[in-house]
Amino acid sequence: MTWKHELYNNVQLAFWLQVLVQCCTSIAAVVVYSGIIFRNPGFDGLESDWLSALDNMVGILETNIAALTLVCVGRRRTLY
């Protein structure tokens, strides 16, 4: 197996795992409708938009922390 074929397989695996995670956890729906979700408890439009933006920025930060942890610690040790 060539390195190009192995890279292609890894990209395919990562893509389909991401699709599966988004479908099973409904995180995509939460991100898309977060403004409406924050309006339901009684926040007005501006507060709802700010909370939605803050939620999305925290999600990006947490994703970067998780990626750095995987790089530093390793995949196997984090799975255990």
The pLDDT tens digits of the residues spanning 5-44 come to 888 888 888 888 888 888 788 888 888 898 899 999 989 9
Q: Which domain holds residue 44?
A: 3-79
What pTM was computed for the model?
A: 0.60
**Dihedrals phi, psi of 4, to nearest 5 degrees:** -70, -40
Quick check: 51 and 43 in contact, CB under 8 A?
yes
Number of folded domains in the chain?
1
Confidence of residue 50 (pLDDT cuts 50, 70, 90): very high
Measured CA distances, 12 to 5, 37, 55, 70 (Å): 11, 33, 28, 19
Between 66 and 4, whose confidence is greater?
A: 66
Cα radius of gyration (the chain): 17
